[in-house]
Amino acid sequence: MNVHSIARMSGGSAYLWMAARARNALRRVVVFGIVGGVVFISALIAFVLVPRNASRKALAVAAKIEARTDSGPTVAARDRYLAELNVTDSVLNATRRALIPVPAAVIDTFPPAVRAQRDSLSAELATLNRLIDRAENAPLPTSYRALAASPTVAADPRVRVLLDSLADIERERNAFGAVGGVDPVYLSLTSRATAIGRQIQGIADAKRGEVRGKLALIRPTPAPVVKPVITVDTTQLLAQRATAQQNYAAAVKQVDQINQKNARIDRESARARELANVGAPPWAMLAAAVVLALAVGFAASFGTELKRPHIADPREAEQVSGARVLTVIKPPEVVVERSRRQADVEAPPLIDVVSESYRTLYLHIASVEASVPIVTITGDDPGIVATVAANLAASAAYEARSTLLVDVDPTTCSVASVLRIRPDPGLSGIITGNATWPEAIVPTTIGRDRPLDVLPSGTRRSGLPETNVVEEVRKELARMQRRYDFIIIAAPTSYVQRSTSSIIPAPDLILCARIAHTTVGGLKNAVDSLRGADMRIHGLVLWDAEMPQLETREEMLGATRQPEAFQPELATAR
């Protein structure tokens, strides 16, 4: 399943798929541990080396920092020169004020009637000045009429005639309305109105001159200005001011240079402190390294899981394979009562006859509508296949059913390792002709008195057997259905797929897969290849526990060569 398939999923399906990948990522202890350990060690080394390198850099920067310059004396000199400059300016300002002549007070000797006449003339002059300025700034008939309406100008008989002429011209202009702006007559009337206004303004100017003349005759005579005698020499003061100004400017410049130098030293000191403060407490560095290792380890494990997804739960296994999950094998529970009986103590540790998972699997096989006397347990992990097959056979034997367990993989001898029986001569001895069926079948006991017959694989690799030998073994297994109620064959998937050279006489099988270890693509390919070989998959068994610890083929061979080695199956047979 690639990224495009994820994108085509609905929201709920994509969420479930990503949650399954996250669970599998947490189960990938090897990738998680290796990547997390490398990141943890690298982070600790970095957290130790970086502060040391920063400390060395801080010492190098601190060694180059100059000493701060004391600006106190320079600031005091600047303030002193500024005070001298202010004193000199104050003396010069006082001298300049002393040189300004003091105006003498004007003594008005005119009688009150003349003073009243002077005040009225001053008011009349102010009115004329205002109206004349208005006419000059806005040469309009309204301005000229306002000027002619003043008492001084209106007393002239010429003004009445001019006002009448101006009124006639305005009436003629108003007759043209809004279209008179381009008419020559209208323009001529406008020029005549302006000329009349100028005449009124000229009469007003003449009246203003008369008022000014009358006002000049009755103004008081100002007192003579007495010039002060200069007794202070300002040359020395100017020289002192120039010297103080020069010294003050030099002091200000020196203070600025000192401030810039000290600011640069402060920046370098701050940088050295930042470099020196890179370190952290040991517990903080350890916690940061742990968090970083967990995050990167999970990211690496999650990325590996996304690149190659594995089966995460029964729902996903059923969706991929199209077959039902019959049971999920969980870690076995410790039952205290089982340690009290000698038979349970001497029983193989991988056989769990009280497990609900194996009982559920047996009940499913035993309760199918069509009789399934021969069923094959297959998968990619020989240890899981042998453990599931042995426990299924043990559950059948525990239910008082005559059961035969067959192992066809001589490379691992997994069934013999699970049940702790001798692997030879086994099926390889039958195929090579070195043993008969009664000699190869090993009887053992489940619990105290439940018999179970086992045909181990044997340790001799016979290679690819001939077709007639395969047919004879297959027919013999088919004939054994009359003797046994239940025949269970443990075989790897690669062996089951070789239908021509396989001794498996029936197409019924159960496929084993391991959660978080069996890939989605591997499970789908196995199901497709088995169905392509005309095999009927009854369901899946999911292994959700640690891998079973089995003895290797070499260890079993070494144990069987010891003459004093205890063989529980022989003791049980006796």
Ranges 85-89, 118-122, 328-332: which has the least confidence:
118-122
Over range 533-540, report the average pLDDT.
Answer: 88
Query: Residue 173, SS3?
Result: helix
3-state helix, strand, coil in the chain (%, to 5): 65, 10, 30
Compute and round to an integer the Cα radius of gyration of the chain: 61
Assigned token pair, 39: 């990141």
Q: Are strands 403-407 and 442-446 parallel, antiparallel or unpaired?
A: unpaired
Give the per-residue pLDDT at 411: 83
Q: Mean of the pLDDT values across residues 512-521? A: 89
pLDDT band, residue 279 (cuts 50/70/90): low
Average pLDDT for 277-293: 75
Task: Decide: residue 556, CB within 10 A, 0-12 exposed, 13-18 middle, 19+ buried.
Answer: buried
Residue 434 has pLDDT above 60, yes or no: yes
Q: DSSP letters of 137-200?
A: HS-SHHHHHHHHTSHHHHTSHHHHHHHHHHHHHHHHHHHHGGGGGG-HHHHHHHHHHHHHHHHH
pLDDT of residue 573: 36
Rounded Cα gap, residues 305 and 325, in angstroms: 22
Return d(Cα 200, Cα 142) in angstroms, integer.
12
Q: Dihedral through CA 565, CA 570, CA 571, CA 573, nearest 10?
A: 180
For the stretch 290-320, pLDDT in tens is 888 888 888 888 888 788 888 888 888 988 8
Contact 415, 389 (CB under 8 A): yes
- Structure confidence by residue, pLDDT tens digits, 308-354: 888 888 888 988 888 899 999 988 876 655 555 665 666 788 888 77
Tokens 């193989």 correspond to what residue? 348
Q: What are phi and psi of 189, to 5 degrees?
A: -65, -40
pLDDT score recorded for residue 222: 64
Vertex 177, ends 174 and 178: CA angle to 5°?
Answer: 135
pLDDT confidence of residue 541:
93
Reported as a single tens digit per residue, the pLDDT across 186-201 is 788 888 888 888 888 8
Residue 7, pLDDT score? 42
CA distance 389 to 386: 5
Mean pLDDT of the region 88-105: 75
- Picking from 302, 325, 311, the residue whose alpha carbon sits closest to that of residue 517 is 311
Q: Would you state the pLDDT for residue 228?
A: 59
Average pLDDT over residues 435-447: 85
Identify the band that residue 563 occupies on the pLDDT scale cut at 50, 70 and 90: very low
Its pTM stands at: 0.57
Which amino acid is present at 126?
A
Alpha helical stretches, state H, 218-324:
235-276, 282-307, 314-321
Q: What is the pLDDT of residue 513?
A: 93
Residue 466 has pLDDT above 50, yes or no: yes
Q: Do 449 and 347 contact (CB within 8 A), yes or no? A: no
Residue 58 neighbours by CB under 8 Å, 6+ apart:
272, 273, 275, 276
Predicted pLDDT of residue 388 = 92
pLDDT category of residue 3 using cuts at 50, 70 and 90: very low
What is the crossing angle of helices 11-27 and 282-307, to 10°? Answer: 120
Cis peptide bond prior to 425, omega within 30° of 0: yes
The token pair at 201 is: 């303004």
Query: In angstroms, rounded to a whole number, what is the distance separating the alpha carbons of residues 474 and 408?
Result: 12
Q: How confident is the model at residue 225 (pLDDT cuts 50, 70, 90)?
A: low
Q: Check whether 385 has a pLDDT greater than 60.
A: yes
Beta partners for 542? 328, 513
Instruction: Reply yes or no on whether the pLDDT at 35 is more than 60.
Output: yes
More confident residue, 61 or 481: 481
Q: Is the pLDDT of residue 63 over 80?
A: no
How high is the pLDDT of residue 570? 38
Name the one residue in this structure whose structure tokens are 């197409």.
507
Percent of the chain residues topping a pLDDT of 70:
80
Distance CA 91, CA 89 (A): 5
Q: Which of 9-23, 371-385, 502-516 has the lowest mean pLDDT?
A: 9-23
H/E element holding 543? strand 536-543
Which residues 6+ apart lie within 8 Å of 373 measured at CB? 481, 484, 485, 486, 487, 506
Amino acid at 451: P
| pLDDT at residue 569 tops 60 | no
At 177, list the tokens.
Answer: 């309305």
Q: Give the residue-averaged pLDDT of 452-477.
A: 79
Secondary structure (H, E, C), 185-219: HHHHHHHHHHHHHHHHHHHHHHHHHHHHHHHHHCC
Q: What is the chain's mean pLDDT, rounded?
A: 79
pLDDT tens digit sequence for 157-184? 888 888 888 888 888 877 776 555 567 7
Q: Across residues 470-496, what is the average pLDDT?
A: 85
